Structures are given as structure tokens and as C-alpha cells.
């Protein structure tokens, strides 16, 4: 049985993007991306339009978060670099590792500069191939809100299948929003 390894932080190169470990130098770019109202709304970080429009503060918490991502033994956070510009446009993450079950949760976000050009799909494909290959995982899970048809489409393109729905996963601007649970399993099971 393969050993699960999220401690090793790889550099994964595609045609459009490079995934690489974070350093503290990425804090300003990530603060800008995390301030994007669409990112804030679609990742469930906020519960109202007013909150979505507040910028992410560049503070000690954010600085320390990105400064320490490359040291985490039980999760994998990689910056998405747009190869056309060399700039960080987002992140892909494996968290909530269950090493015995060989499962982890997947998260991703791409800021406005990178969206709609195929970068997110390629970044997620690279991450899934690594996760279900060298990283030794058997199954990836994720949650996506029903009001995010673009992300749903991308996950389906990558082979994720729906495993359930939760009708009241989030309340946004006072309206209940459902979430879809999805999973992707390694070809060998």
C-alpha cells in the first residue's frame, strides 16, 4: 500500500500554470486575491455582500499563515502561478487528511486575473494527479455551493461525482444556499 505523503511540497508544472509551495513573499498577492468579493462569496468565507466587499487585511495572521504553509506535514497548500505572467493567481489545497482512510479534502480559488482562461482546470488536474498518484491518496472530497455553476462544471470535467447534497449549508444575504458534496477516487480504488 502506498504511504500517504502531504509533507513533501512538490513543484508541478503544466502548460498554463506552475504549482509551487508558498513563501512569505506571496502574502501581498494572496491578500489581493482573498479580497476579491467573488472569491469571498463562493468559498463561503462570508455571509453577506457587504462582508464580501471588505478587503482581506494584510496582518500577522495572514503573514504567518503563508509563511508556514510549506512546513505543514498533514496538508498541502500550493500557489498557482500563471506561466504567462509569472504572477500568483490563486491557490490549491489538500486539507482534512485522514491518513488511514487515505482521503483528503480539496479546496481551490483563483482570483479575477486568472479566471476563465483554463488555469483553474489545469491547476486542479495537476493537484488531483499528484494527490492520487505520488501523494498516495485514494479519495478526494470537496464541497461546492449550488450557486457556483462554474466550479461545479470544472469539478465534473475532472471526474468528480456527486455524493450528496446539503440544502442549508450557508446563509448568504439571508438566503439559504445548498452545497453539493463530490468525490474523486483513484483509478485503482
Contact set with ligand COA (CB under 6 A): 38-39, 42-43, 90, 108-110, 114-121, 144, 148-151, 153-154, 157
Cβ atoms within 10 Å, residue 71: 9
Rounded distance, CA 29 to CA 88, Å? 7
CA dihedral over 110, 65, 103, 79, signed as positive or negative? positive
Q: How far is the CB of 91 from ligand COA (least distance, A)?
A: 9
Q: How far is the CB of 1 from ligand COA (least distance, A)?
A: 30
Cβ(125)–Cβ(15) below 8 Å: no
| Comparison of 52 and 135: residue with beta carbon closer to ligand COA | 52
Pinpoint the alpha helices (H) of the chain: 27-34, 37-42, 49-52, 60-68, 119-132, 149-157
Q: How far is the CB of 100 from ligand COA (least distance, A)?
A: 26
| Comparison of 27 and 110: residue with beta carbon closer to ligand COA | 110
| Comparison of 4 and 151: residue with beta carbon closer to ligand COA | 151
**Residue with CB nearest ligand COA?**
120
Q: How far is the CB of 188 from ligand COA (least distance, A)?
A: 26
Length of the chain counted residue by residue: 189
**Residues 6+ positions from 46 with CB-CB distance below 8 Å:** 40, 52, 54, 172
| Comparison of 4 and 170: residue with beta carbon closer to ligand COA | 170
Cβ burial, residue 106 (10 Å; 0-12/13-18/19+): buried
Rounded distance, CA 105 to CA 122, Å? 18
| Comparison of 42 and 104: residue with beta carbon closer to ligand COA | 42
Q: How far is the CB of 29 from ligand COA (least distance, A)?
A: 14
Amino acid at each position: 500500500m502506498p504511504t500517504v505523503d502531504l509533507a513533501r511540497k512538490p513543484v508541478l508544472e503544466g502548460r498554463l500554470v506552475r504549482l509551487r509551495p508558498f513563501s512569505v513573499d506571496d502574502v501581498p498577492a494572496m491578500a489581493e486575491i482573498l479580497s476579491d468579493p467573488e472569491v469571498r462569496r463562493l468559498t463561503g468565507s462570508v455571509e453577506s455582500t457587504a462582508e464580501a466587499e471588505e478587503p482581506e487585511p494584510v496582518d500577522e495572521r495572514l503573514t504567518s499563515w503563508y509563511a508556514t504553509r510549506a512546513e505543514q506535514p498533514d496538508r498541502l497548500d500550493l500557489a498557482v502561478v500563471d506561466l504567462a505572467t509569472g504572477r500568483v493567481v490563486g491557490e490549491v489545497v489538500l486539507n482534512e487528511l485522514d491518513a488511514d482512510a487515505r482521503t483528503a479534502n480539496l479546496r481551490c480559488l483563483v482570483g479575477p486575473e486568472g479566471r476563465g482562461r483554463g488555469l483553474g482546470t489545469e491547476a486542479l488536474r495537476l493537484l488531483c494527479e499528484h494527490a492520487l498518484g505520488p501523494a498516495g491518496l485514494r479519495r478526494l472530497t470537496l464541497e461546492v455551493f449550488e450557486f457556483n455553476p462554474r466550479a461545479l462544471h470544472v469539478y465534473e470535467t475532472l471526474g468528480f461525482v456527486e455524493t450528496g447534497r446539503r440544502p442549508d449549508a450557508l446563509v448568504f444575504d439571508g438566503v439559504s444556499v445548498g452545497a453539493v458534496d463530490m468525490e474523486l477516487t483513484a483509478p485503482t480504488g
